[in-house]
Amino acid sequence: MKYYLPFLFLLIGFGAFAQQDAQYSQYMFNSMVINPAYAGYRESLNVSMLHRDQWTGLDGAPKTQSFVIDAATGRENRVGLGLSIINDKLGLQRQSSAHVNYAYRLPVGENDSRLSFGLSLGIAQYVLNVSDASVGDADDPNFGAAGTYFVPDARFGFHYYNDRFYIGASGTNLLANSINFQQVGNNTIATHGRHYFVTAGALFNLNESMKFKPSFLIKEDTKGPTSMDLNSFVLIKNSVWLGASYRTGVNLWKKTGLNNGTFKQNSLVGVVETFFLDKFRLGYAYDYSLSKIVTSLNGTHEISLGLILNGKKKSTALLTPRYF
């Protein structure tokens, strides 16, 4: 019976939400995982690692790891190059992917504004670990042998920003239809559909030592409820971010076959990020679910570590690129 309960949450995640991309609470500090246009935007060598443990203590609950490295090159550091590696496990299914990211940034308008376009190409591996399953029927064909499938993938995005405002949009899983799910079995690997992201935010000076940054993120897959994050952060003395987010599902328009009573994963998130030794960033986020189905479970923990190395070249980046 080990995986009967986790399968309940797998069905909730894939059937009700239809939001299948890995979930992050610190995406604002690790943005290249959702938008390739962020590659090289710091105009320095940037390394970021993240681990997310959702519903801690529950067998089969989602666990996610990501590794990102990117840098800028070319004339005036306009070209951004990056590599992102993601491992996401949920119940018996594991998805691993690696993407090469390319971005090109153009100076536009005034106030050091920049417009960046990004493209990401990669490959994803889908694995069904049937050996971990505990099933009532030993002859169930869906659990007869392990399934492993490789799928090409592409992402695209843009990002506009200056020293006080930013907006970006991106699409992921653009080659998701490369798997013939009729052939491999509809119940074998959960189909990953295309996902779309829109994010924007602004920065306000509260006083000499504090800055305020409100922002939002909308995630859409066109089949399930739209997911929206509302974020509010305060930066203290350019060294510590303190923030909170509210995540909920919203129905932006009428979707065919969507029940308005569909379960929505409402949650509150607390985030703290600190910069130290001029090069390192350490972050922690805690998600507390407000949904009745999972309030009895432990919360979600997410920790991230970043390293920023400025090269010998003179940077043409904004004076405060880490704000966005």
Mean pLDDT of the chain: 80
Report d(CA 10, CA 3) in Å as an integer.
10
Would the pLDDT of 268 be above 60? Answer: yes
Domains of the chain, first to last: 4-323 (2.40.160.40)
Enter the pTM of the model.
0.83
Contact, 16 vs 9, CB < 8 A? no
Q: Record the tokens describing residue 23, joined without a space.
A: 């979930």
Report d(CA 277, CA 170) in Å as an integer.
33
The DSSP H or E segment spanning 19 is: none
Contact, 147 vs 111, CB < 8 A? no
- Give the pLDDT score at 188: 47
Question: 200-243: per-residue pLDDT in tens?
Answer: 999 999 999 999 999 999 998 877 788 999 999 999 998 899 99
- Give the pLDDT score at 18: 41
